[in-house]
Amino acid sequence: MITEILSPNIEITWLPWAVAYFFFIGISFAAVTLTLPAILFGHKQSLGVARVAMLVMLICAIVGPVALLADIHQPARFWHFYACITPWSWMSIGAIFLPIYVVATFIYSWLFLRPALLESKAKAGIVGIMARILGVGSWQGQHLLKLMAMMTLILGMIIALYTGAEVAIVATRELWSSYLIPVFFFTTALLAASSLSLLLAYLMHEDNVTLTSLSRYSRWSALLSLAVLAYWFVLAIFTNGAEARSLVLLQHSTQWQLNLGLLVLLFAVTAFFASGSSKLILLAALGGLVVSWFSRWLIFIDGQTIPKYGAGFYTYELPWGTEGLSGILGIFGLWLFLAIVLYQILPWKNRTESRVEVQS
Partner 1 sequence: MDISKRQFLSKVATLSVGAVLVPLSSTSQAGINDQPPRRNGETGKRWAMVVDLRKCIGCQSCTVACTIENQSPIGQFRTHVDQYEIQDREHPENITSLMLPRLCNHCDLPPCVPVCPVQATYQQKDGIVVVDSDRCVGCGYCVQACPYDARFINKETNSVDKCTFCTHRLEAGLLPACVESCIGGARVIGDLNQADSQISQLINEHKKDIKVLKPQAGTKPHVFYIGLNKAFENRINGQSAVWQPK
Binding stretches for partner 1 (CB under 8 A): 1-11, 13-14, 71-74, 77-78, 80-81, 83-84, 86-97, 100, 143-144, 147, 150-151, 154-155, 158, 165-166, 169-173, 176, 249, 304, 307-315
Q: Write the DSSP symbol of residue 46.
A: G
How far apart (Å, rounded) are the C-alpha atoms in residues 210 and 285?
14
* In the complex, minimum distance from the CB of residue 2 to partner 1, in angstroms, rounded to a whole number: 3
Minimum gap (Å) between residue 307 Cβ and partner 1:
6
To partner 1, the closest distance from the beta carbon of 144 in angstroms equals 7
Instruction: Tell me whether residue 97 or residue 202 sits nearer to partner 1 (CB atom).
Output: 97
Which CB sits closer to partner 1, 155 or 274? 155
Closest approach, Cβ 98 to partner 1, in A, equals: 11
Provide the sign of the torsion angle of the four alpha carbons 244, 250, 254, 257, taken in this order. Answer: negative
* Rounded least distance, CB 346 to partner 1, Å: 25
Cβ proximity to partner 1: between 91 and 262 the closer is 91
**Amino acid in position 195:** S
CA geometry: angle 214, 218, 221, nearest 5 deg: 130
Q: Determine the Cα–Cα distance for residues 196 and 257; give it in Å rounded to an integer.
A: 28
Report in angstroms how near the CB of residue 276 gets to partner 1 at its nearest.
40
> Other C-beta atoms within 10 Å of 43: how many?
17
In terms of CB distance, is 85 or 237 closer to partner 1?
Answer: 85
Q: Give ∠ CA 299-304-306 in degrees, rounded to 5.
A: 105
Q: State the nearest-atom distance from the C-beta of 267 to partner 1, in Å.
A: 26
**Sign, CA torsion 22/25/29/31:** positive
Burial class (CB in 10 A: 0-12, 13-18, 19+), 296: buried
Q: Which helix (H) or strand (E) holds 133?
A: helix 125-134
169 vs 230, beta carbon nearer partner 1? 169
Residue nearer to partner 1 on the CB measure, 45 or 92: 92
Q: Least Å distance between CB 60 and partner 1?
A: 21
Measured distance CA(113)–CA(355) in Å, rounded = 10
Query: What burial letters (b/e) apply to 121-147, b meaning 16+ CB within 10 Å?
Result: beeeeebeebbeebbeeeeebbebbbe
- The smaller minimum CB distance to partner 1, of residues 11 and 207, is found at 11
Q: Which is nearer to partner 1, 88 or 277 (CB)?
A: 88
**298: three-class secondary structure by DSSP:** helix
Contact between 98 and 166 (Cβ < 8 Å): no
- Within 8 A by CB and 6+ apart from 156, the residues are 28, 29, 30, 32, 33, 101
**Between 83 and 122, whose beta carbon lies closer to partner 1?**
83
Minimum separation from the CB atom of position 154 to partner 1 (A): 6
Residue of 71, 295, 271, 335 lying closest to 189 (CA atoms): 295
Dist. CA 85–CA 83, nearest whole Å: 6
